[in-house]
Amino acid sequence: MTLDRTLHWLEKLVAFDTRNGIGDERPCAQFLKTALAAHAPDSLIFETVLRSRGRSDGAYVLASWGKPQVLLNVHLDTVPSGEGWTSDPHTLADTGDRVVGLGTSDIKGAMACILAAMEQGKPDNVAVLFSGDEEAGSEVMEAIVARGHMSAAPRAIICEPTGCEVGQRHRGFMAYMARYTGPGGHSSLSDTVAAPVLSAARLALALGDYGKANLDAGNGSYIGLCVNVGMIDSDGAHNVIPTRAELRVSLRPPPGDDIAARETDLARIFKNHAPDELSCMAVHPPLQTRDLSGFAPYFSGQETRPIDLPYWTEAAMLSAAGVDCVVYGPGDVEQAHRPNEFVTKAQLETASKVYAKALFNNG
């Protein structure tokens, strides 16, 4: 296995426009299906997922060999490229000790490592899942879990940019939208006309108080709920009573937190402040690896250390479905989601060795 082969695959993967909400995951998933089929898997599943909000269909491909002991999962979508790139985001650029391109760090670099490692021979007792829509909703992973297409592996390595360290914990994520409405009108009528913004503000204050009351929730690196009232938007002005006000709030429960209890608490707050419309945009559990020692064979010989991650990953969804997970991959979260995204060649080489152990040392 050589770095050249990893870069060969990464160049092909970066060329696919899988920007969530802009590009199309399906051609890349079809390409990956062909690449996996070349290694004669015992099972190969390719499916699409109809996503909401008018976006193109998501897709995933799952290959299994033997009786899988570990699942390798990489998401194939990226964020939009945005402004500030000094080169074509979809053309891999070699700058010496690093390569630049959209998704190199988050997380097509890991995908390329896996494809290059597979060239050593036929994988043994392992499953590989390439899945879409991680960057904007996780509807594909939700469908994978619902359809029972996770493979039967008892553990999984979820590939995200951890700098080749082993991520063992992260917060959950919950988000809601509440809307208040009224007839609107001239501000001289504000003593008698419904005030959507005031109602939204009262709800915001109650949510903020809930966050303050739980500042001691959690432990270690994760204290508090990170309650964030991100916006209150309306169609009003200083002299116009709005006809609507929309509030959006999120919170990030720490590892080990009781998500069901949080949902109950929030339901009570929402009921007390009675929005005209309420929608739950996301409820994702936190991650806590259950048995880190079970992953030791894949990281033997590597200078890795367990770390707490500052961001949410789909590992939490698989963990909630019964699969013990760690998060591991080349790249740096500081490089993800920004212009001239890059991954170092040294990290690609390190990650390739870990993935090779997962692919071939599961007899």
Q: Which residues are catalytic?
A: 134
Helix, strand, or coil (residue 115) = helix
C-alpha closest to that of 91 among 348, 347, 350, 341: 341
Read off the amino acid at residue 188. S
Contact 352, 164 (CB under 8 A): no
Give the CA distances from residue 224 to residues 96, 167, 177, 247, in Å, rounded to whole numbers and listed in that order: 42, 20, 21, 21
Give the CA distances from residue 78 to residues 82, 101, 109, 216, 275, in Å, rounded to whole numbers and listed in that order: 11, 11, 12, 35, 35
How deeply is 322 buried, as exposed, middle or buried, from its count of CB atoms within 10 A (0-12, 13-18, 19+)? exposed
Distance CA 132, CA 138 (A): 8
Q: Name the one residue in this structure whose structure tokens are 């650029």.
A: 93
Query: Which 8-state DSSP code applies to residue 300?
Result: T
Distance CA 168, CA 327 (A): 7
Read off the amino acid at residue 177. M
Rg (CA), the chain: 23
Give the torsion through C-alpha atoms of 188, 194, 197, 203, to 10 deg.
150
Q: Alpha carbon 117 to chain centroid distance?
A: 24
Angle at 354 between CA 349 and CA 360, to 5 degrees: 120
Give the CA distances from residue 105 to residues 79, 110, 158, 308, in Å, rounded to whole numbers and listed in that order: 11, 8, 14, 19
